[in-house]
């Protein structure tokens, strides 16, 4: 630590702190970024289900509006 501190003009405590931080964070650095937690997958599944329901309701509403126009000759109020 002394040699590195002298070479780069840093206090040895700074280098020591950086080393400790690097050792504790190293597993996170090499973890796959596309790895999702179970909670994230659950949230995505819920969102997908909701979007599917909304899409289905939109189709049904459009169908009913079309049938209303066919029966009554005007748009629903």
- pLDDT at res. 77: 79
- pLDDT at res. 33: 65
Q: How confident is the model at residue 47 (pLDDT cuts 50, 70, 90)?
A: very high
Give buried/exposed letters for 5-17 (b at 16+ CB in 10 A, else e): eeeeeeeeeebee
- pLDDT at res. 66: 94
- pLDDT at res. 43: 93
pLDDT in tens, 7-46: 888 898 999 999 999 998 888 777 766 667 788 889 999 9
d(CA 42, CA 29): 25
Q: Which SS3 state, helix, strand or coil, does residue 73 take?
A: coil
What is the value of pTM for the model shown? Answer: 0.48
- pLDDT at res. 70: 93
């Amino acid at each position: 630590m002394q040699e590195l501190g002298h070479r780069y003009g840093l206090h040895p405590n700074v280098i020591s702190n950086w080393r400790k931080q690097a050792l504790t964070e190293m597993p996170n650095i090499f973890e796959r970024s596309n790895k999702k937690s179970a909670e994230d997958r659950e949230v995505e599944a819920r969102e997908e289900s909701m979007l599917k329901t909304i899409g289905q309701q939109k189709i049904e509403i459009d169908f009913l509006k079309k049938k209303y126009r066919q029966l009554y000759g005007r748009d629903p109020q």
